[in-house]
Structure 1
Amino acid sequence: MKEIRAPGSILLLGEYAITTTDGLGLAVAVEPYARAAYTADDAFSVTGIWPEGSTDKTKTWRLVGEHPSTLTIVEAVIELCEAFLAPLTLPRFRFTLDTRSFRGRAGKAGLGSSASGTVALAAAILDAADVPPARIRAAMPQLAVDAHRRAQQGKGSGYDVLTAWYGGIGVFRGGPIPGWSSVSLPWISHTHLVYGDESVSTPGAIDAFVAWTTRHPNEALEFHERSNAVVLRVAKTQDELEPNSEILELFREASLRGTKLGEAIGRPALITPERSIGRCIEEARSSVLKALGAGGELGIVIPADAECSRRLVECGVERVSCSDTGAIGFFHE
């Protein structure tokens, strides 16, 4: 039996901007991982296991069927892989896609489990079909981006897919064919993740953002340009071992801009951590708390200094655990 793993993802900067062509975002691959295990069998099949609330759900797929208009993630991956492999057929393997490690307090941890699962499964199917590693590297991650969008009715920037494929930290560039440039930011290991009560609907938030850009084109252009500038500036802080005053100020600016945009589009970009953790963050003066994504589910704390970071750990605020290895690592040149 073989297994391919793909990490989760968080977007530190660039929310909403990455949904536009050439919009930039700063993304980080994080634990946990989606796992696609596979072994030879009499026929092709995929069994998915994923968390739902406090329980696990399981379903087995064999073929997509008559090209339905709405597909699950697994069905979209099967459809795209089948088209890629044609005229050859899908490999006679039994695949098991397991994303249970993404379980959070509300069922999912909000770390890109569907994108990670898409990448792991697509790569596993191509590998089982004996596609050469060089060709897999060339086809991925766009095949996975297309499959993920196919399952979301064409929506999705693809940042989480590219993060799961490449791993590490990168500057993501939005567009029909998104791009990725890897960067090294040692200070990321001194930042902290916090969890909120519930997530804001990402598709609904994106629709609200698009409507806002149509009504306010000048403000939208200014937002796009400043958001990109902050991403590029933060990406250049590669020599910093810990967050410095410039990094804190850039994240503070991004947090305020995200809050104002959320208010303008009617989707508040707020993160409300547990009361005890919230008090700890408030006591860590000069530290920055920024909502990630559309808000509500995840946030990042940039501590003002090492002492603030230590106190946050004592309060149970976990540090960001960056995964340097994406699924691409299984396909060496």
Structure 2
Amino acid sequence: MAAISTSAPGKLFLLGEYAVLDGAPALLAAVDRRARVTIGDSESGSWQVSAPNLGIVNLALGGDGGLPAGLDAAGRSKLRVFDAVREAVLARAPRPARPLAITMDSGALSRGGHKLGLGSSAAVAVALTAALATALDLDLDREALFRLAEQAHRRAQGGVGSGGDVAASVYGGLIRYSRGAVPVPLRWPEELSVLAVVTGEGALTTRLVGRVADYAAEDPARYRADIARLAGLAERAEASLGDPDAFLRLAGDYFSALTVLDTHARAGIVSERHHELHAVARREGGVFKTSGAGGGDVGLAFSHSGEPAERLAAALAGAGAAVVPLGFFTAGVHGGSRS
């Protein structure tokens, strides 16, 4: 079999995080840091997997690519997305799979060994689903690819998450995403600039979302009020793209509403560093907010394009913040053809 190569982009939530878990729409952007997967025939006669950025090289697998019985808990955790995707694709494949050698690399979605919160596991799930489907002659259109990858990724994450990261990796660009609905492509206004800003050393999404879920169980009435506030703002996001000033106000209001949720949930979504960067951005006429789960992941700084964006970038650098060189609204999953 000729080698098969695929790639899928990372993502950033622009607006709608946490509210999307309760059915509100979210705006997500695909970014130009990509997870890459290569599949070929195994020369050893048994399934093998490599993930160099995770320290896994030519790991021999069991029949049909199952994880070996002697693999320790740390190794199983690193390969939980691989295993979930493998099972999902093989269950639908039209023919048995011959032994394959699979290489996955999501190192581009990290910085200095720390994840940036760009949805690396979702990008791997999408790229791997596309590559395995091609290798096993499973014909998937874009929506079917999304559904299969999202199902596998959700299983690997223990049922946590909205699926928005998987959708952004499949569809690319700028999308409006609601759970259970087909993503809608949107256009980002040229008058607005967005910067990605490092705010810490990465956060575990499942832990932060789990703390918010605990809050929902402990104080359901107050939780519903907090989420209703976020959802009301999220519903206005798409329309606000036509008015840059309205979008900037909305982004600031969303950060404030997230701060209220975090204060009540004691989850650690919004840190003191986030508040410092929010104040820096506000002095320059821009807005800083967390993105996705929050915590130590990358945050976002919005402003008018041109000179205001340049001033904001300089002010953030002056405050010791690192702007990550990211391209926004990049193409979705790519490849799958044999080369």
Normalised by the length of structure 2, the TM-score is 0.81
Give the corresponding residue for 1:166.
171
CA drift at 1:60: 2.8
> SS of 2:13's equivalent?
strand
Contact 1:195 1:273 in 2 (8 A): no
- The 2-side partners of 1:154 and 1:303 are apart by 35
- The 2-side partners of 1:310 and 1:319 are apart by 14
Give the corresponding residue for 2:285.
286
- The 2-side partners of 1:245 and 1:17 are apart by 22
Match of 2:82 among 49, 74, 77: 74
Give the corresponding residue for 1:327.
333
Letter of the 2:80 counterpart = T
Give the corresponding residue for 2:47.
45
Give the corresponding residue for 1:258.
258
Give the corresponding residue for 1:119.
126
CA drift at 1:239: 4.2
CA drift at 1:2: 2.9
Instruction: Provide closer, same or farther for how the CA distance between residues 231 and 319 of structure 1 changes in structure 2, counting only shifts above 3 A.
Output: farther
The reply to whether residue 25 of structure 1 matches residue 23 of structure 2 is: no
In the TM superposition, 1:108-147 aligns within 5 A as 108-132=115-139, 135-147=140-152
Instruction: Provide closer, same or farther for how the CA distance between residues 312 and 137 of structure 1 changes in structure 2, counting only shifts above 3 A.
Output: same
Contact 1:35 1:98 in 2 (8 A): yes
Instruction: Provide closer, same or farther for how the CA distance between residues 218 and 329 of structure 1 changes in structure 2, counting only shifts above 3 A.
Output: farther
Q: Larger deviation: 111-120 or 278-287?
A: 278-287
Instruction: Provide closer, same or farther for how the CA distance between residues 318 and 271 of structure 1 changes in structure 2, counting only shifts above 3 A.
Output: farther
> SS of 1:322's equivalent?
coil
Could you list the per-position Cα deviations for residues 111-159 of structure 1 after superposition, in whole angstroms to 9, with x for gaps in the alignment? 1111100110111000111223xx3435211111111122122222211
Letter of the 1:285 counterpart = E
> SS of 1:230's equivalent?
helix
CA drift at 1:105: 3.0
The reply to whether residue 10 of structure 1 matches residue 12 of structure 2 is: yes
Letter of the 1:306 counterpart = G
Normalised by the length of structure 1, the TM-score is 0.82
CA drift at 1:216: 3.7
> SS of 2:196's equivalent?
strand
CA drift at 1:180: 1.5
Contact 1:25 1:228 in 2 (8 A): no
The reply to whether residue 220 of structure 1 matches residue 189 of structure 2 is: no
Contact 1:126 1:136 in 2 (8 A): no
Letter of the 2:97 counterpart = L
- The 2-side partners of 1:297 and 1:158 are apart by 18
Give the aligned CA root-mean-square deviation in angstroms: 3.2
In the TM superposition, 1:164-243 aligns within 5 A as 164-174=169-179, 177=180, 179-187=182-190, 190-239=193-242
- The 2-side partners of 1:197 and 1:268 are apart by 12
Instruction: Provide closer, same or farther for how the CA distance between residues 272 and 188 of structure 1 changes in structure 2, counting only shifts above 3 A.
Output: farther
- The 1-side partners of 2:227 and 2:252 are apart by 17
In structure 1, list runs of 5 or more residues that go unmatched.
Answer: none
- The 1-side partners of 2:34 and 2:123 are apart by 7
**Percent identity of equivalent pairs:** 24
CA drift at 1:58: 3.5
Instruction: Provide closer, same or farther for how the CA distance between residues 192 and 271 of structure 1 changes in structure 2, counting only shifts above 3 A.
Output: farther
> SS of 2:201's equivalent?
coil
CA drift at 1:195: 0.7
Could you list the per-position Cα deviations for residues 271-314 of structure 1 after superposition, in whole angstroms to 9, with x for gaps in the alignment? 5669xx95994585221110112332211011256323113445
Instruction: Provide closer, same or farther for how the CA distance between residues 289 and 327 of structure 1 changes in structure 2, counting only shifts above 3 A.
Output: same
Number of residue pairs aligned between Structure 1 and Structure 2: 317
Give the corresponding residue for 1:98.
105
Instruction: Provide closer, same or farther for how the CA distance between residues 251 and 109 of structure 1 changes in structure 2, counting only shifts above 3 A.
Output: same
In structure 2, list runs of 5 or more residues that go unmatched.
Answer: none
